[in-house]
């Protein structure tokens, strides 16, 4: 009988749509309460596991890709645009309903 993997090592699964193995590991939760999930993919199960190991090593070394200022700026601008449009369409609604 194979030895059970340790907790947090991640598990590979086959993605039929992509025709690839996906190895996934849960690393806990971010400050907003969402799960931190890292993934690695490959044509073989071993490739996916090795890719996941690289991603986890980068994460542990704090080399994770941070959001770019442009992405943050465009997201903020789109949120401002949505609020403005909401107020224009529903002027009678209170502020919390449009936020």
| Alpha-carbon span 5 to 80, nearest angstrom | 46
Q: List Cα–Cα distances, 51 to 17, 70, 81, in angstroms.
A: 19, 28, 39
Q: What is the pLDDT of residue 20?
A: 94
Residue 42: what pLDDT? 94
At 44, phi and psi to the nearest 5? -120, 165
pLDDT at 75: 61
pLDDT tens figures, 76-85: 666 666 566 5
Instruction: Write out the DSSP string of 17-43.
Output: TTTEEEEEEEEEE-TTS-EEEEEEEES
- In this prediction, residue 41 carries a pLDDT of 92
What pTM, to 2 d.p., does this model score? 0.53
Given a cut of 70, the residues of the chain with pLDDT beneath it are 1-2, 7-9, 63-99
Distance CA 35, CA 12 (A): 18
Segments making up each domain of the chain, as ranges: 1-65, 67-99
Structure tokens at 95: 């502020």
């Amino acid at each position: 009988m194979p030895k059970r993997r340790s907790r947090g090592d991640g598990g590979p699964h086959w993605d039929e749509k992509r025709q690839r193995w996906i190895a996934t590991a849960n690393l806990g939760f971010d400050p907003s309460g969402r799960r931190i999930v890292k993934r690695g993919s490959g044509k073989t199960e071993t490739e996916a596991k090795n890719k996941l190991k690289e991603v986890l090593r980068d994460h542990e070394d704090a080399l994770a890709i941070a959001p770019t200022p442009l992405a943050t700026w465009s997201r903020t601008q789109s949120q401002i645009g949505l609020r403005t449009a909401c107020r224009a369409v529903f002027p009678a609604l209170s502020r919390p309903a449009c936020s």
